[in-house]
Copies of this chain bind each other. A is one copy, B any other.
Amino acid sequence: MSSPENPPEQTNSDDVGFRQLQKLIREMYYEKDETRGIEGTFMWLMEEVGELSSALRGGTHQERKEEFADVIAWLATIANVAGIDLAEALNEKYGSGCPGCGKFACTCDDAEKP
């Protein structure tokens, strides 16, 4: 995904790549994930989405961080089972600008997606 500049961020840890995450999740959970299948795994994702909603409504910053991590981990799990490369998916859909208007700073009408 192209980005004209990449200034240093004021955070405590390194960036994580989508492909790197999928590999980690695959090594950690793939056998269980494959047995559970896409439908069973989707149920877990939905549970975590509910927990994220709850954390966004009333949770602490730390709780929100944890729920975001869980939702993304389950998405990575489903992507692994479905054979989807998330980095490739993101590059294709967003790597050349907004899918609506094609601009890197979106000029779509506010009522339109996204």
Contact = CB atoms under 8 A, between A and B. Distances in A.
Given A72-B90, A89-B69, A28 B79 contact: no
Tallying the copies of this chain within the complex gives: 2
A76 to B, nearest CB: 9
Please classify how large the interface on chain A is, using the bins under 10, 10 to 19, 20 to 34, 35 or more.
Answer: 35 or more
Contacts of A89: 65-66, 68-69, 72
Contacts of A64: 82, 84
A27 B105 contact: yes
Nearest to A21: B90
Interface in A79-98: 79, 82-95, 97-98
A88 B24 CA distance: 15
Nearest 7 A/B pairs, CB to CB: A15-B17, A69-B93, A65-B89, A13-B91, A15-B19, A69-B89, A16-B87
Interface of A: 1, 3, 6, 9, 11-21, 23-25, 27-29, 32, 35, 38, 42, 44, 46, 49, 53, 56, 61, 64-66, 68-75, 77-79, 82-95, 97-98, 103-106, 110, 113-114
